[in-house]
Copies of this chain bind each other. A is one copy, B any other.
Amino acid sequence: MKEILEKVNEFFASEQFIHTPEELYAPIEYTLRLGGKRIRPFLLLAANQMFGGTTEQVRDAAIGIEVFHNFTLLHDDLMDKSPIRRGQPTVYRKWDENTAILSGDTMFALAWRYFLAQPHPRLREILSCFNQTAIEVCEGQQYDMNFEKQSQVPLDDYMMMIRLKTAVLLAGALKIGALYANAPQADTDHLYQFGIHLGLAFQLQDDLLDSFGNTAEFGKQTGQDIRDNKKTYLILQALQLAPDNCRQELTHLFSSTPADSDEKVARVLQIYNTLGIRQEVEKAISLQFDQALLHLNAIKTEEKNKAPLRELMESLSDRKK
């Protein structure tokens, strides 16, 4: 896993993102230099290596998938009016809204340039997978915005939303990496499903850690989603399990923004504990990891080729932030 991540970091270190006009490309360079876990290019390379692909073959695609991901973050931050990303001001705050719109559009086009840089016998299949993913990510963001305005959101709808907004891009990265190495369809399908379940587990973990993460250890305030009245798996599950009077209180709490938000967070967590929400979410996460594992096991390749993805799964299932 370390080896692959080092390669990914080399790709980015050796790539030039500044072009003319600078007003357009400086925010792109800024965004791509902020770092991040680079999990999507990692998945693309790991899947490629699994079927004997060469790193050079997927260098551009690996950069392309990360450029696309960062484009979605850039526009999402603008739409959500998020001031901070990776500890730094977001593009629309550091520059302005128009810069965020146009630099984002350009990043989407640049992602395509990377995908088009290398010829490949299955290029149309690869590009169609990338494009289908891109469309679904947009649909996921729309559902997310819709849900903020809806009074009730069924858990199934929430799972569909995070599948589109988060999971399909992890799944797409894996499938694309495997397609470059000309993997058989049964295996690219398993990899895709592995990515879907991994992505769902990852997002549910994010939801859980926001309310139950160890704040002292990571210096992050617990309960930001609660303060923001954000619809997550936790509150949607709680609303399903709560008896009438408790559900009414939760609904009331999640439509208020009191000056003392600590008190609100404490009360919501108290209700979560009464309802056993933490255990419910942990169960849901385990379920997704189990499903992911089934698909990883079903892939027909030597066990040693699966090591990086197994290692990733283990590090994710242990993560505390």
Contact = CB atoms under 8 A, between A and B. Distances in A.
A141 B142 CA distance: 26
Contacts of A131: 109, 112-113, 116
A102 B141 contact: yes
B79 A102 contact: yes
A156 to B, nearest CB: 15
B134 A109 contact: yes
Contact of A113 (B75, B112, B135): B135
A110 B132 CA distance: 9
A29 to B, nearest CB: 14
Interface residues of A, number: 36
Interface string A91-127: 0000001100110111011101100100100011001
Interface string A125-148: 001100110110011011101100
Contacts of A104: 105
B24 A105 contact: no
Given A105-B105, A112-B134, 11 more contacts: A24-B138, A79-B101, A97-B97, A101-B101, A106-B138, A109-B138, A112-B112, A112-B127, A116-B127, A123-B123, A127-B127
